[in-house]
Amino acid sequence: MSFEVRHKDLLGRIGYLRTKSGTLETPFLLPVVNPNSQIIRSQDLRGTYSFDALITNSYLVWRKFRGERQVPKIHRLLDFNGAIETDSGAYQILQYGEVEVQPSEIIRFQEGLDSDIAVILDVPTGAEESKDRAKWTVDETIRRADQSLRVITRNDILWVGPVQGGAYPHLVSYSAREMAKRNFSIYALGSPTPVMQQYRFEILVDMVMAAKAELPPGKPLHLFGAGHPMMFAFAVALGCDIFDSASYALFARNGRYMTTQGTSKIDELEYFPCNCLACHGATPEKVRRMLLMDRERFLASHNLHACAAELRTIKQAILDGRLWELVETRSRSHPALQAAFERMLRYGDRLEIGTPVRKRKGPFILSEQSLFRPEVIRHHTRLLQRYEPPSKSKKLLLLPEDLVAPFREESATSSAIDRWGRFRDSHVCTYSLSYAIVPVELADVYPLSQTESSLTATSVAINSARNRIAGYVKKFGYARCVIVGYAPWHEQLVTGLKRKLRGRTRIQYLEEKELDKKSIQRISKALK
């Protein structure tokens, strides 16, 4: 097995997972195929919808063929020439409480099926279990993992080690830490389906982050039961590489139409907001007049196209370095996603670690939440940890970014800034709501000058800038700070800084709306 990461953004990554039936590009979705009933034929999943892999339930196959002498080959049984992952029956444990097959028995059966990827028979925690019961499912899954590893004989199958713990992050962390000690090719987070069905995406954020913190970064993470395009961007941003779901078919059976904004009932639609191969030329009215089986097949087809399109959108966002923007945009489409995004902000430091230092494009600051994006966090962390202002700097001049940025090439402004910088004990920085404070010598370093912002001067944004500027001033011990400004929020910032610094630094505010000759003279006088 090899898993090679080619591109990253946040914790999301485009990688290549090699299986014995071909190489798969992550992130990818495994459509669930019922071996006994297929609404979309398996061969069409690859030929029409471009899914190079699928997942099926080996337990259902076992129940059908357990009396046979020879185990069928899963690729021939499903008529699919791509990669096939087989689950072990744990979903049936979650639904019905038990299965007849033993963990070692289903391991040997999956080896006989010739699966490409196979899952051990774990015990799902679920979402409503008590803490004691949840702890038992974690311990039992670890015990079964050890039992399975002793039975496994085929190393050309990628074996999946499930992480349990449900809605208890500390148990998820413990489970992931223990599973990481076992050498599985892929790890998977179990029991998210009930949480997602209840739209408790903020709990899912904690579950994923608890698992990611303990699992090997060089191995893929499979999020079991996740198959709705509305949450793919979030899950990928948190580090999930593989998804699987039967939702495309289950939703179709109930007359439901998937979009990145949520799910719509076909009976309530007047127009299709999609132009995929299924929807092109169709109307909801025509679909409603179809025979039940044809309507179900149409909706399943669209749902697959919607999932595939969103994954392509996510991959392009990773390449462009715009995964944060995509997640933030998606968060506006549903209150549950907004709650998930707010929870995701708590993990800004972890997201920063996986984010490249340079990207194809500059960041967008779209809202107050964007102030917690990795580029902003990284700037302030490195400014305090790695940067040193010019020696003997005791005076700090803060200029509004918009007064300086448009005139950087203008001789009068640039020469004035150079002159202020040559004052024996003065240092020049710009300030803004986005990055708070930027030394002028760093102003053209990526991503500072490449960032575009639509941030307005809310109290949250002003307080964020105030706290970051105050932290910088305290760190380097400036005795005086001359702040140039013209807008009401500039004055609010100065008032907040005076309270924050509490007399440690003498602050002087100069109201200047432009850097003309007279204002340059006044600023020079204040610095002397």
Q: Where are the alpha helices (DSSP H) in 218-347?
A: 229-237, 247-253, 284-288, 292-320, 323-331, 335-344
Q: Among all chains, which residue has been given the structure tokens 């300030």?
A: 431
Tokens of 58: 């080996």
Rounded CA gap, 275 and 193, in Å? Answer: 29
Sequence-distant (≥ 6) Cβ neighbours of residue 133 within 8 angstroms:
125
Which among 216, 187, 191 is positioned nearest to 204, based on CA atoms? Answer: 191
Judged by DSSP in three states, 2 sits in strand
In single-letter form, the type of residue at position 504 comes to: R
State the residue for tokens 């996603």. Answer: 337
**Complete DSSP assignment for 71-113:** PPPHHHHHT--SEEEEE-SHHHHHHHS--SS-HHHHHHHHHHH
The DSSP result for 207-235, as a single string, is HHHHHHTTS-TTS-EEETT---HHHHHHH
Q: Which residues are catalytic?
A: 87
Which residues lie below 8 Å from residue 219, measured CB to CB, with a gap of 6+? 3, 184, 185, 186, 187
